[in-house]
């Protein structure tokens, strides 16, 4: 006969079908908590930009590339203030790995316009727009003889 608490230790067939395990789920939960903590810290008026960058670097040291990926995904939130904060965090992080997903988001017409604009703004903040890239290029000078 099965006891009341035994159900907690039974393995769920749905978890195996998705390929998830408890460690992965906990890691993803920790990552979401870290992003929420960064959002909360960004509203602290006593925190300087360099201190915020230290928090971001600590998050990168802990989670690696997944932090930037989660920040990019978080741009799809409904709250305008949160999106604005995430754009600022992505600009501070300035991660090269997030450029391709941000470009994809900015061009995806299926996404809401505010999300596309936020992705474009994050790219502009990182200096990854065609106009900014062209302005950094040196004109080629040719000698004609």
Q: Does residue 110 belong to any structural domain of this protein?
A: yes
Structure tokens at 90: 């992505």
pLDDT tens digit sequence for 21-50: 777 777 889 999 999 999 999 999 999 999
Structure tokens at 145: 């003889």
Q: Is the pLDDT of residue 8 over 50?
A: no
DSSP track, the chain: ---GGGGGGSPPHHHHHHT--HHHHHHHHHHHHHHHHHHHHHT-TT--HHHHHHHHHHHHHHHTHHHHHHHHHHTT-S-HHHHHHHHHHHHHH--GGGHHHHHHHHH-TTS-HHHHHHHHHHHHHTT-SHHHHHHHSPPP-----
Domain interval for residue 29:
18-130
Q: Does residue 111 belong to any structural domain of this protein?
A: yes
* Contact call for residues 128 and 99 (beta carbons, < 8 A): yes
pLDDT of residue 142: 64
Question: The whole model's pTM is what?
Answer: 0.74
Q: Does residue 2 belong to any structural domain of this protein?
A: no
Q: Does residue 126 belong to any structural domain of this protein?
A: yes
pLDDT of residue 19: 64
Instruction: Name the residue with higher pLDDT: 6 or 39.
Output: 39
pLDDT tens digit sequence for 51-89: 999 999 999 999 999 999 999 999 999 999 999 999 999
Domain count across the chain: 1
> Residue 34's Cα: distance from chain center in Å?
11
Q: Does residue 31 belong to any structural domain of this protein?
A: yes
pLDDT of residue 22: 78
pLDDT tens digit sequence for 132-143: 555 555 566 666
- Region 93-121: what's the mean pLDDT? 94
pLDDT of residue 129: 74
Q: Closest Cα to residue 38, out of 92, 89, 96, 110?
A: 89
Q: Does residue 6 belong to any structural domain of this protein?
A: no
Radius of gyration of the chain (CA): 21
pLDDT of residue 26: 78
Q: Does residue 140 belong to any structural domain of this protein?
A: no
| Residue whose pair of structure tokens reads 């230290």 in the numeric block | 54
* Contact call for residues 132 and 124 (beta carbons, < 8 A): yes
Q: Does residue 136 belong to any structural domain of this protein?
A: no
């Amino acid at each position: 006969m099965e006891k009341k608490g035994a159900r907690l230790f039974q393995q769920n067939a749905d978890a195996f079908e998705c390929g998830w395990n408890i460690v992965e789920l906990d890691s993803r939960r920790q990552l979401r908590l870290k992003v929420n903590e960064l959002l909360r810290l960004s509203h602290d008026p006593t925190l300087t930009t360099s201190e915020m960058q230290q928090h971001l670097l600590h998050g990168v040291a802990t989670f690696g590339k997944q932090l930037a990926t989660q920040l990019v995904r978080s741009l799809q939130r409904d709250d305008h203030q949160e999106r604005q904060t995430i754009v600022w965090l992505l600009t501070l992080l300035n991660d090269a790995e997030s450029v391709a997903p941000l470009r994809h988001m900015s061009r995806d017409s299926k996404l809401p316009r505010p999300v596309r604009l936020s992705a474009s703004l994050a790219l502009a903040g990182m200096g990854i727009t065609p106009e900014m890239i062209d302005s950094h290029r040196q004109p080629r000078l040719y000698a004609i003889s």
